[in-house]
Amino acid sequence: MAASYDFPQDLTDAQDELRQVRADLQTLYRRVPWSAEPLEAWGTHENAWRPSSRPASLGWDPQDAAEIARLRARELAQAIVTHAYWSEFAPADVLAARDALKRHHEQQMADASS
């Protein structure tokens, strides 16, 4: 049986926000061009061990760049990792507790559906 943790609300809120920020960034990255700055198309030469190429990129538009910068500037991971709650655990137990925090949303969803 997995250990049960009583996470403080601010810690679970930060983890939930981090999950949402990652999802928002992933959505943005799928929409914007591959390069933040305008770049010409390129490709490896025909005898390359691992051929690769990219189309020309117009770069990110200023609104997308600003939104990505805003999301990246959130220091949620730092807030989570340095939270005082982790000082309650022996160093060997922090990993399991941190993993449980990452999965607390899934657990809440499972509990709500039962």
pLDDT digits (tens, 9 = 90+) for 68-96: 999 999 999 999 999 999 999 998 899 99
Cβ burial 70-92 (10 Å sphere, 16+ → b, else e)? eeeeeebeebbeebebbeeeeee
Residue-level pLDDT at 104: 85
pLDDT tens sequence across 7-62: 999 999 999 999 999 999 999 999 999 999 999 999 998 888 998 999 999 999 99
Between 114 and 19, name the one with better pLDDT. 19
Collapsed DSSP state (helix, strand, coil) of residue 22: helix
Question: What residues contact residue 87 under an 8 Å CB cut-off, 6+ apart?
Answer: none
The residue with tokens 């005898």 is: 47
Question: With contact defined as beta carbons under 8 Å apart, do 3 and 94 qualify?
Answer: no
Would the pLDDT of 1 be above 60?
no
Would the pLDDT of 2 be above 50?
yes
Q: Side chain identity at 102, as an amino acid letter?
A: K
